[in-house]
Chain A
Amino acid sequence: MTDWTWLVPLPVVVPLSAAGLALALYRRPTLQRVVSVVALIVVVLVSAALLVLADDGPLVVDVGGWAAPVGIDLVADRLSALMLTVSATVTLCVLLYSLAQGQEDDEESAPISIFHPTYLVLTAGVANAFLSGDLFNIYVGFEILLAASFVLLTLGGTRERIRAGTIYVVVALLSSILFLVALASIYAATGTVNLAQLAIRLPEIDPGVRLVLQVLLILAFAIKAAVFPLSAWLPDSYPTAPAPVTAVFAGLLTKVGVYAIIRTQTLLFPEGRLDDVLMWAALATMVIGILGAVAQDDIKRLLSFTLVSHIGYMVFGIALATDAGWTAAIYYVAHHITVQTALFLVVGLVERAGGSTSLTKLGGLAKLAPVLAILFFVPAMNLAGIPPLSGFLGKLGLLEAGVQVGTPLAYVLVVGSVVTSLLTLYALVKAWNKAFWQVPEEERPPVRLPFGMVGPAAALIVFGLGLTVAAGPLYAYTERAADALTERTPYVEAVLPDGKRGKGVSVDVTEEAAHGGEAGEAGTDAAGTSGSAAVRTDVAEVGG
């Protein structure tokens, strides 16, 4: 069999190199566009290939040839590959949309010379966070995507965007520092930040310390994922950015946080001692988020609140901590990335046709732009979970998983998610009625919606429908992904085949194996204190 592992780093390397190239070509906007589009197409193709390949087992690359716990490794297992494929597709569609928007409007709304490199860096950061098999590298991935998102959110530096950006940046920095503290504590307790090695070592440390580490990590990720009560920053900051930027943020950034929660909960802390807390958090996120959405007048803010609310569904699935729960949660993430991004893109078009995002001011769009009405209706119903769309399937999976668990708390969550789903339907139907059917305050001239913007939005909606049509195989795929997450061994064994070292070459590796046996034992015994002898010899090789 051919070795396909060389594909694994590409989703990170290609956009990063392309970002450099795009930056160098800042005087040649046309070439810049070509570079970005080609780079993202390559990423989509590679991700799709990884999706197929990872089904036979995780693909592991020890970066730079350094064996796993010493060097950094990238791992593409089913979960990562699926996330990567969906996110790559979404980013490509949003890029095409923003290209058309850039052509329609002048540079004002999206200064292209900055937009392209930053957007590519964002893509690379997201891919890095998905692929990384090393906790510190996940941190780096987060920082890459955050730094890029800061720039994208404050594009143009207008009053409103600076205001929104301030809140976003400060909250993001806080969560990064929490993550750093968590990393330092984990290193102090276990002497490693490699996920696979952590999975082996964490069960051996003091349960109290383990709980502290888990809480720290969950806090850091929950801010990123906007889980209530750490979600207040999101509806404040997202709606002000340009439509494509909001769309890609809404689709991807919170889901990176959700992915990180899934990964750490399943791989590092399988005993699930925080599951009840997570359940309550999920319930609060769902209900309070959607009540916020119901109260809104601005459609972008309304969607931001539904975004928060639906994060609750994924946390619900994770907190159930059963195969069925994880299966549904992973499927729901894939569904939600697509549908939420599509909705924000369509709202960008609504703003264009209606001249506003306020539901009081909008109106009569069904007559002005019938295509837009369909484009809004389908993903809106999909988000609310109307059968047979993918939102319904995801929610049904979650409900089933909840009933299977059968604890009173799980039943409360089941009821909560049904209520949330109904309220989502209410909020979206209200938006639909107001924006498309109410008599507008003033007649607006009919607008031509550029095909370049309608096309990608439509493509994304079709992709979302594809998730429905292909739900059988896809659900089976997420089920296999969840199985692997429960087992944990496939991931650990793929990274550290003999339990100690990855496949990469490193100096002294044979020597290490000879006497590293005892040292390794000593290391895990001494875990809980800090920096053991074994770890020190390990890391010495990095310097050498």
Chain B
Amino acid sequence: MSPNIVLVVAIAALFTVGVYLLLERSLSRVLIGVILLGNGANLLFLVAGGAAGRPPIVGATPEGQMTDPLPQAMVLTAIVITLGLSAFLLAMAYRSWQLHRHDEVQDDVEDRRIARLAAIDERATTDDDTEGTGSRIDEEAASIRDETDEGAPARPAGEPARTAGEGER
């Protein structure tokens, strides 16, 4: 059996438009996209059910001529679910409008921050306790007072301790 060409074209059109709208930023357009995609999937179920036939009532119709009711039952379920979720999406778009005066999908701020830090090659967290004293280990060593090192005062961190550090080594 070859499927109904009109249905197939309709499905293709619905999916195309749906995907296009889904890629938009505005939540109301996304919603319309989701509804169109959902309807495309529902039509696909109708095609999956095979050719249309007589009402599927046992006794009233010979078995060979019945329409397959199972895909229609599934479509009904899917329609109800899409309806409920559309309502939820609509409520969310409205809430977003209440809060921001627009319904555009926002970027994740924290995600952006981490990405910016990565772009300038910085770490997301700073290690105060391990990096506070100096960037080089010999500078750090030089700044710490050693009891065996009599008389020599502890050098404060940050002072150019490189030559002295080398002397101590």
Contact = CB atoms under 8 A, between A and B. Distances in A.
Given A177-B37, A177-B38, A438 B128 contact: yes
B99 interface: yes
B85 A173 contact: yes
Contact of A297 (B63, B124, B128): B124
A530 B1 contact: yes
Interface in B107-148: 108, 110-111, 114, 118, 124-126, 128-129
B63 to A, nearest CB: 5
A151 B84 CA distance: 12
Given A296-B114, A439-B129, A174 B92 contact: no
Contacts of A180: 38, 41-42, 44-45, 78
Contact of A507 (B51, B58, B71): B58
A541 B48 contact: no
Contacts, number: 161
Contact of B84 (A147, A507, A541): A147
Contact of B125 (A140, A359, A543): A359
B22 A531 contact: no
Contact of B48 (A174, A187, A439, A507): A187
A409 interface: no
Interface in A162-195: 162-167, 169-170, 173-174, 176-177, 180-181, 183-185, 187-188, 193
Nearest to A187: B48
Mostly helix, strand, loop or mixed at chain A's interface? helix
B30 A170 contact: yes
B92 A147 contact: no
Interface in B98-112: 99-100, 105-106, 108, 110-111
Contacts of A439: 128-129
Interface string B18-60: 0000100001001000100110011011011111010011110
A535 B68 contact: yes
Q: Is the interface of B mostly helix, strand, loop or mixed?
A: helix
A416 B123 CA distance: 24
A157 B95 contact: yes
B153 interface: no
Contacts of A543: 56-58, 69
Given A136-B74, A438-B129, A542-B69, A170 B50 contact: no
Nearest to B113: A297
Contact of A542 (B30, B44, B73): B73
Contact of B108 (A163, A174, A359): A163
A530 B96 CA distance: 44
Nearest to A529: B1
Nearest to A163: B106
B81 interface: yes
B110 A530 contact: no
B70 interface: yes
A26 interface: no
Contact of A140 (B50, B69, B77, B100): B77
A540 B71 CA distance: 12
Given A169-B88, A236-B111, A542-B70, A530 B45 contact: no
Contact of B47 (A177, A188, A359, A535): A188
Contacts of B59: 544
Contacts of B114: 295-297
Interface of B: 1, 3, 22, 27, 30, 34, 37-38, 41-42, 44-45, 47-51, 53, 56-59, 63-64, 66-71, 73-74, 77-78, 81, 84-85, 88-89, 92, 95-96, 99-100, 105-106, 108, 110-111, 114, 118, 124-126, 128-129
Given A140-B77, A438-B129, A544-B57, 13 more contacts: A140-B81, A163-B96, A166-B92, A170-B89, A173-B34, A184-B47, A184-B74, A193-B74, A295-B124, A297-B114, A531-B48, A536-B50, A541-B58
A-B pairs, top 6 by smallest CB distance, nearest first, are A531-B50, A188-B48, A297-B124, A544-B58, A539-B70, A180-B41
